[in-house]
Structure 1
Amino acid sequence: MAVKLITSLLYFAIVFYLGWKGWKETKNAGDYMLAGRSVNPFVMAMSYGATFISTSAIIGFGGVAAMFGMSLLWLAFLNIFVGIFLAMVFLGKRTRRMGLVLNCHTFPELLGKRYNSRFIQGFSGGIIFFFIPVYAAAVLTGICRMTEVSLGLPYEWMLIGITAILSLYVITGGMKAVMYTDAFQGTIMVAMMVFLLGYTYYLLGGVVPAHETLTSMADLVPEKLQKGGILGWTQGTQTGSPLWLVIYTTIVYGVGIGVLAQPQLAVRFMTVSSDRELNRAVLYGSVFILLTIGIVYVVGSLSNAIFFKEFGKISIQMAGGNLDKIVPVFIEKIMPPWFSAMFLLAMFAAAMSTLSSQFHIGGTSLAHDVSRNIVRAKNNMSVPSINQLGIVVTIIATLVWAWLLPPSIVARATAFFFGLSGATFLPAYVFGLYWKGMTKTGAKISIVGGFTVSMLWMLFIHKKEAAAIGLCKALFSKVTLVADAAPGSTMFLLQWVDPNVVALPISIALAVGVSLVSRSLAKDHIQLCWQNCS
């Protein structure tokens, strides 16, 4: 315990120093929101990766990998190919150029100025502000569960303590403090994950024996999972089964594609000074993703073999049925004692890097995109003060959500926000960068339509959310609108199809269709958007 406390204090001392450094270098609104547009490519890539990969990925999705197996490696592939390569090469460069030409500081402002629409900026900022606390709460829950198991401290204490620590440097230091601390935290994460993988294979006698052992344990997959379609932790899932739909529509597709429209990631493209920095960041970012979530998905699956070898139980049994505790329990009971202390720091790093970015983007969306003009008009506040107030509100909302969310929620809450962002923003964002024919009306209808369809599907069709929220039950006296369909039928299986699978295609169709029949944007505005962007 003493070692953990000492290393934790040292870690926080470095974090506070970097936060102080960011505060000292923050002189204006551009510094606060975009780090002065002059960030080193390594710092940008590590900040991007550390923001992308949080405790929701390591703790939450690591637990999901322990339940579903190696199928989650498809998500790791999409995270690298889509989330890093496609995002930085095909979206990052144009985002950076357009943000510079239009003098944008936030993702909603980029959309609003691209389409010359205050409604788009305000509506997009409102969606981000209202829903990113749910994602942030999932990340906060992940690190608090880790410290609960590792340090034996009450979960509620950790919620308040970690939130207070983050607040100190995010509110004062702005984007520079966030990115400096992200780069440091990302480096810690990589080192710990590499050791974790090597030691796991060592305990199982090597790479091949480890996978052979896990393959032979297919009969130990819980009966409920087998009925849902799981064939084994290495064998995959029966195509078309309910759990196949959960894995490939909610987890792989929803998160893997939704990353392209994550506002807290897109804004980082505007923090570098040239396209060359983005090209260099692709390599750093790809290696980072491979060495973090690629590893944790493998280790999560293999934890079943190690737990069964040591205790005669599989992972979900060792964690008392709570997916969010599988990785923490594995670290505490299987890994060397010294590693437990270091991994705790890595989880602090993963959580704090993502949370700081979430608080920052949520606060600036509220302050800069939704209510900035009203607040300034009434109170004559400075831009940094308005943004700081927005961040405070976001932090409070996150803390409330983290207090209320049920167990085993980390991965599901993350997938929800990724899917919602993809359906709402992705068509307007991508077409806005690449298609001159995309109109203001098309963007409005696409954003509102994608958001609406996603929410309706979640409330009335998708079983996980519909059952938890209970609105469909209250209005129609059944859990989902398709609950009465014949078991095994297409209608019945819709309960396991993620909202993004339906909402994103509809959003794309609305963007294209409405743009083709509506009046084009003013010629001079289009010319401004494309100046130096292609």
Structure 2
Amino acid sequence: MFEKILMIVIFFAVTVAIGLYCRKNASNVGDFVLGGRNVGPWVTAFAYGTSYFSSVVFVGYAGQFGWNFGVAATWIGIGNALIGSLLAWVVMGRRTRIMTKHFESATMPDFFAKRYDCSWLKTVSSVIIFIFLVPYSASVYKGLSGLFSMAFGIDFVYCVIGIALLTGIYVVVGGYMAAALNDLFQGFIMLGGIVMVVLTVLNGQGGFSRALEQLSQVPVEAVPEMNGALTSFFGPDPMGLLGVVILTSLGTWGLPQMVHKFYTIKNEKAIYTGTIISTLFALVIAGGSYFMGAFGRLYYTPGQDGKVIFDSIVPQMLGDCLPDILIGVVMILVLSASMSTLSSLVIASSSTFTLDFIKGIWIKDMKAKTQVAMIKVLCGFFIVLSVLIALNPNNLITSLMSLSWGALAGSFLGPFIYGLFWKGTTKLGVWASFITGIGINVVNLLSPFTAPTSAGALSMIVSLLIVPLVSLITPKLSKNHIQETFSCYDEKIPVSHKFALDEVSE
């Protein structure tokens, strides 16, 4: 027990120290929210990767989908690396940095307002972000606190409150750079930790071959006629697996806290290096987490009523096979993953609501210092809301995250992607995506017609389809506005902005 406590104390001390160190670089809105658009490749890549993966993936998703799909769940991690990281950086990285800098946009709602010449888009999208990032944050607290309860025997409620306080301290004090530097520090811990955990889980069953052999003999209730379903190439439910891959991979393209990382890129080298680092990071972290979760059936036993509590699978698995020192490593691993995600959620939500809703509607002449103060206050408010939802024992981690990702990416994916590339996108096309993205996920929440992950994936696909369909039959934006918008790609630096960023940020 002493070793675990010591490791946690050291981790907390380093985290807070980084926040205090970055305090002097968080005095204005640009620095607090964007890090001065001067963030290097390693920090940007790790900020992207650690914001992507948290206790939601390691505890909730790895447990539930490892149980449902077996070894095939590893495809989710591969999809996260190739689609959610590699393609996202290649397709969106440079263009996002160029156009948001051209508009001087610090948030996604402000980008929508300026790109589509409609201030109401900023107002509505800022409210959507604030509302639907809360359940995602709650799911992170829930997953993290469940592991803390297992490791230390501390009441779940105190775990949630303690972690929330720590998040609030270093984000409110240090802003984006504190979060980004902590992401770099925490990312290296995550890489080493996941490798040790996967090896230990396999060794607990006699090694990889023996564990795979045992898993192949476990029957799956949904397909009793399929022998070895949990070790098959696409698992017992290929379509369900595809839905999860789409939700967790394509979703990053429309999530404000993920896209925000591209706003801060320093130069062209940062894009090239960041693409490689974030892809490899995702492959190790996501691939390792889902692969580990596949062996949950060898450790977890359902209750007498046969009910499986998915959020308990990974904590029980780790509690059974890891010695105290490695449980301490796991706690640091999950803390690292979760704290980085929470910080990006808090900053994205509070900055958006301050700049795009409060300042945009109520206090248009808000001074810079007041803006920073308001963002910090809303950081605390957002954390409190998340904690209250996390304390509800009936809320499943995967359901909370799926609702959040589905509603946000289902609303913003099409408008953001087409906004970067297609001159023909109209504001009514954007509104249509907002309506369907929220509508599909909220209707499924109130009157379920499919799994939350499938509803989220469906809303993203609909967003990509409905934006161009509505845009083709609705009034276009003015030619002058379109010409001004896309002129940023033709600025010479000395090569066209279509091909490179400035070597030195202004």
TM over 0.5: yes
Partner of 1:38: 38
- Contact preservation (8 Å) 2:204, 2:321: no
Question: In 1, Cα distance between the equivalents of 2:373 and 2:301?
Answer: 47
Question: In 1, Cα distance between the equivalents of 2:411 and 2:448?
Answer: 18
Q: CA deviation at 1:140?
A: 0.4
Equivalent residue for 2:470, pick from 503, 514, 519: 514
Q: CA deviation at 1:464?
A: 5.5
- Contact preservation (8 Å) 1:231, 1:237: no
Partner of 2:495: none
Q: CA deviation at 1:229?
A: 8.4
Equivalent residue for 1:524, pick from 469, 480, 485: 480
- Contact preservation (8 Å) 1:133, 1:394: yes
Structure 1 portions without partners, runs of 5+: 308-313, 466-496
| Alignment-mate amino acid for residue 188 of structure 1 | I
CA gap 1:273/1:374 in 2 versus in 1, 3 angstroms: same
User: Is 1:389 aligned with 2:377?
Assistant: yes
Question: In 2, Cα distance between the equivalents of 1:505 and 1:191?
Answer: 35
User: Is 1:235 aligned with 2:232?
Assistant: yes
Equivalent residue for 2:428, pick from 420, 441, 446: 441
After superposition, give the CA deviation of every residue in 1:314-340 in whole Å (9 maximum; x if it has no partner). Answer: 455699832212222222221122111
- Contact preservation (8 Å) 2:25, 2:32: no
Partner of 2:82: 81
Q: CA deviation at 1:204?
A: 3.7
Question: In 1, Cα distance between the equivalents of 2:434 and 2:474?
Answer: 16
SS for the counterpart of 2:347 is helix
Question: In 2, Cα distance between the equivalents of 1:229 and 1:498?
Answer: 23
- Contact preservation (8 Å) 1:462, 1:498: no
Aligned residues: 487
CA gap 1:152/1:461 in 2 versus in 1, 3 angstroms: closer
Partner of 1:61: 61
- Contact preservation (8 Å) 1:45, 1:284: yes
User: Is 1:376 aligned with 2:363?
Assistant: yes
Q: CA RMSD in A?
A: 2.4
The answer to which of 179-188 and 524-533 deviates more is 524-533
After superposition, give the CA deviation of every residue in 1:476-525 in whole Å (9 maximum; x if it has no partner). Answer: xxxxxxxxxxxxxxxxxxxxx82245433443343112222222212232
- Contact preservation (8 Å) 1:229, 1:238: no
CA gap 1:504/1:348 in 2 versus in 1, 3 angstroms: closer
SS for the counterpart of 1:436 is coil
- Contact preservation (8 Å) 1:108, 1:365: yes
User: Is 1:301 aligned with 2:291?
Assistant: no
The answer to which of 506-515 and 124-133 deviates more is 506-515
| Alignment-mate amino acid for residue 480 of structure 2 | D
Partner of 2:16: 16
Partner of 1:489: none
Question: In 2, Cα distance between the equivalents of 1:21 and 1:174?
Answer: 11
Question: In 2, Cα distance between the equivalents of 1:186 and 1:211?
Answer: 29
CA gap 1:275/1:458 in 2 versus in 1, 3 angstroms: farther
User: Is 1:499 aligned with 2:447?
Assistant: no
Equivalent residue for 1:268, pick from 261, 266, 269: 261
Question: In 1, Cα distance between the equivalents of 2:45 and 2:138?
Answer: 24
Q: CA deviation at 1:377?
A: 5.2
Question: In 1, Cα distance between the equivalents of 2:457 and 2:28?
Answer: 41
SS for the counterpart of 1:406 is coil
- Contact preservation (8 Å) 2:94, 2:262: yes
Question: In 2, Cα distance between the equivalents of 1:401 and 1:228?
Answer: 40
The answer to which of 292-301 and 437-446 deviates more is 437-446
**Identical aligned pairs, as a percentage?**
25
Q: TM-score, normalised by structure 1?
A: 0.85
Question: In 2, Cα distance between the equivalents of 1:247 and 1:231?
Answer: 17
Question: In 2, Cα distance between the equivalents of 1:226 and 1:461?
Answer: 23
CA gap 1:74/1:439 in 2 versus in 1, 3 angstroms: same
CA gap 1:377/1:262 in 2 versus in 1, 3 angstroms: closer
- Contact preservation (8 Å) 2:4, 2:324: no
User: Is 1:462 aligned with 2:449?
Assistant: yes
Pairing 1:425-440 to 2, within 5 Å after superposition: 425-440=412-427
Partner of 1:401: 389
Question: In 2, Cα distance between the equivalents of 1:437 and 1:378?
Answer: 33
CA gap 1:92/1:377 in 2 versus in 1, 3 angstroms: closer
Q: CA deviation at 1:228?
A: 11
Q: CA deviation at 1:402?
A: 0.7
Q: CA deviation at 1:244?
A: 5.0
Question: In 2, Cα distance between the equivalents of 1:499 and 1:454?
Answer: 6
Q: CA deviation at 1:436?
A: 0.7
- Contact preservation (8 Å) 2:76, 2:290: no
- Contact preservation (8 Å) 1:79, 1:289: yes
| Alignment-mate amino acid for residue 503 of structure 1 | S
Partner of 2:213: 212
Q: TM-score, normalised by structure 2?
A: 0.90
After superposition, give the CA deviation of every residue in 1:384-403 in whole Å (9 maximum; x if it has no partner). Answer: 01211221221121111111
Partner of 1:191: 192
Q: CA deviation at 1:247?
A: 3.4
User: Is 1:339 aligned with 2:326?
Assistant: yes
- Contact preservation (8 Å) 1:458, 1:499: no
SS for the counterpart of 2:476 is coil
Q: CA deviation at 1:183?
A: 1.2
Question: In 1, Cα distance between the equivalents of 2:397 and 2:391?
Answer: 13
Q: CA deviation at 1:157?
A: 0.8
- Contact preservation (8 Å) 1:108, 1:369: yes
Partner of 1:70: 71
Q: CA deviation at 1:81?
A: 1.0
- Contact preservation (8 Å) 2:429, 2:467: yes
Q: CA deviation at 1:526?
A: 1.6
Pairing 1:91-490 to 2, within 5 Å after superposition: 91-215=92-216, 217-219=217-219, 221=220, 223=221, 225-226=222-223, 232-235=229-232, 244-249=238-243, 251-305=244-298, 307=299, 314-316=300-302, 321-376=308-363, 382-406=370-394, 409-462=396-449
Structure 2 portions without partners, runs of 5+: 490-497, 499-506
After superposition, give the CA deviation of every residue in 1:291-310 in whole Å (9 maximum; x if it has no partner). Answer: 112112111112433x3xxx
Q: CA deviation at 1:245?
A: 4.6
The answer to which of 382-391 and 351-360 deviates more is 382-391
Q: CA deviation at 1:427?
A: 0.8
